[in-house]
Amino acid sequence: MPCPLRLLPAAALLGLTAASLPAQEGRMVFERDLIELGRIEQAPWPEPLDYPFTVEGGTVIVERLDTSCGCTEALLLVDGQEWELGRPLPEGTRGLVRARFDGTKYQHNKASTIDVRGQGGNLPARLRVQAFILPLFEVRPAIVRFVEVPPASVRPEAPRRRVRVACTRPFQVLGWKKVPVGGAIQEVETAGGPARVEKDPDSGEEHHVRVFEVSVLPDAPEGLQTGQFVAETDLGRDLVVAFYADVRGPVSYLPPRLNFQAREGQERTMKIRVRAAAPEIEVPRPEVSWDGTGALQLAVEERSRKDDWLIRITIPSDTPRGALRGRIRVRYPEASGLPEGEIPVLVTIRPAPEG
């Protein structure tokens, strides 16, 4: 028996969605899929990025515009008006994909993409933008490093390094919002006056240059000090200078920590060198003790070098398998004025080999 013909009302036909209207094998033909911006400032690009297209060969449905970092606000436009994603694009439609590019957070070579996804013979399609982003502030060196800074008691003067900051525009530092522990910074040469103008010999571009001096404070804490100097500028953007200082105490322990393995049933011996951080410092014979799990045998040996000692650490052969964790505490006579030291230790006792 033939099935009766069922007529749908016009309203139902008009209510068909993109999901119920399969796209024919149409294609989005783009006039270009790459925009080269060249050398640009580290800021939002003022003009929109337009990728014109024509729909050929049938209907196309664009469901998503996926952007990578750097591209923002991707839209589908037809006749200058935003076209709703998921709405079919009939054959012959002319429009464009429009996006914005923001290079604020990037430097040097930057490539971003817009992936056009949906139903069509050539989808997904990838649109690209390429730029070389000139940092608003070019800081040299990028990180101000101070390696093996002597103890303050024998430091003749504060270690100092100069930093050159070049900008594509004139700028002033209004104040320092953040200063890392143990560090100081001040402007030199151009302090209070206009920046020095220099011309790049290769590109011919002009740069406005200011010079700063970074130093390690006399009361900088011992150990590794890292952080950033952050300055407010009259350009509305922060200037950032990275800081790294390895400040030594009066006594060095080499290695500064122990982490090793030993076999069950076998005795194992390790050594730690104790030495003055500077020739002017006298290090008397220390007393050592173990503060941790298990039992370590500790002894102090004198070396031929003046003020140089060895701590011998012995793992007895009867130490059970497992982990020994703790610290070797190093104390000096009170009259020496030397602070107590500690050396972290982790020893893993592994099972003896079979047979």
HEC profile of the chain: CCCCCCCCCHHHHHCCCHHHCCCCCCEEEECCCEEEEEEEECCECCCCEEEEEEEECCCEEEEEEEECCCEEEEEEEECCEECCCCCCECCCCEEEEEEEEECCCCCEEEEEEEEEEEECCCCCEEEEEEEEEECCEEEECCEEEEEEECCHHHCCCCCEEEEEEEECCCCCEEEEEECCCCEEEEEECCCCCCCEEEECCCCCCEEEEEEEEEEECCCCCCEEEEEEEEEEECCCCCEEEEEEEEECCCEEEECCCEEEEEECCCCEEEEEEEEECCCCCCCCCCEEEEEECCCCEEEEEECCCCCEEEEEEEECCCCCCEEEEEEEEEECCHHHCCCCEEEEEEEEEECCCCC
Radius of gyration of the chain (CA): 34
- pLDDT digit string (tens) for 281-297? 888 999 999 999 888 89
Indicate the residue type of 168: T
**In which band, very low, low, confident or very high, does the pLDDT at 355 lie, cut at 50, 70 and 90?**
low
* CATH topology agreement for domains 137-247 and 251-350: yes
Which pLDDT belongs to residue 94?
A: 96
Nearest Cα to Cα of residue 164 among 203, 206, 207 = 207
- pLDDT digit string (tens) for 116-126? 999 999 999 99
Distance of CA 291 to the CA centre of its chain: 37
Summarize the confidence of residues 257-275 as an average pLDDT.
90
Q: Could you identify the residue written with the tokens 């050929």? A: 56
- pLDDT digit string (tens) for 77-117? 999 999 999 999 999 999 999 999 988 888 789 999 999 99
**In which band, very low, low, confident or very high, does the pLDDT at 240 lie, cut at 50, 70 and 90?**
very high
- pLDDT digit string (tens) for 136-165? 898 999 999 999 888 877 777 889 999 999
**What are the tokens at 64?**
């998503």
Q: Is 57 left (phi over 0), alpha (psi -120 to 50) or beta?
A: left
CB 53 within 8 A of CB 29: yes
Summarize the confidence of residues 237-245 as an average pLDDT.
94
| CATH numeric code, 251-350 | 2.60.40.10
**Euclidean distance between CA atoms 321 and 323, whole angstroms:** 7
**Euclidean distance between CA atoms 182 and 220, whole angstroms:** 4
Sequence ranges of the domains in the chain: 23-134, 137-247, 251-350
Which pLDDT belongs to residue 24?
A: 53
Q: Which CATH superfamily is domain 137-247 in?
A: Immunoglobulins (2.60.40.10)
Q: Is 148 left (phi over 0), alpha (psi -120 to 50) or beta?
A: left
**Euclidean distance between CA atoms 277 and 194, whole angstroms:** 43
Q: Could you identify the residue written with the tokens 């010079």? A: 211
307 against 170, higher pLDDT = 170
How many Cβ atoms are within 10 Å of 197's Cβ, its own excluded?
A: 10
- For the whole model, what pTM was predicted? 0.61
Distance of CA 247 to the CA centre of its chain: 23
Which pLDDT belongs to residue 305?
A: 63
**What is the pLDDT of the chain when averaged over all its residues?**
86
- pLDDT digit string (tens) for 6-48? 333 333 333 334 444 454 579 999 999 999 999 888 788 889 9
**What are the tokens at 78?**
């037809």
User: Dihedral, CA atoms, 181, 186, 192, 197, nearest 10 degrees?
Assistant: -120
Q: Which CATH superfamily is domain 23-134 in?
A: Immunoglobulins (2.60.40.10)
Whether the bond into 255 is cis, omega within 30 of 0: yes
- pLDDT digit string (tens) for 311-352? 999 999 888 888 899 999 999 999 988 889 999 999 999 988
249 against 12, higher pLDDT = 249
Question: For the chain, what percent of residues have pLDDT higher than 70?
Answer: 91
With a cut of 60, say whether residue 184 has pLDDT above it. yes
Which pLDDT belongs to residue 3?
A: 40
**In which band, very low, low, confident or very high, does the pLDDT at 304 lie, cut at 50, 70 and 90?**
low
Which pLDDT belongs to residue 217?
A: 93
Nearest Cα to Cα of residue 41 among 175, 237, 216, 178 = 237
Question: For the chain, what percent of residues have pLDDT higher than 90?
Answer: 53
Which pLDDT belongs to residue 222?
A: 84
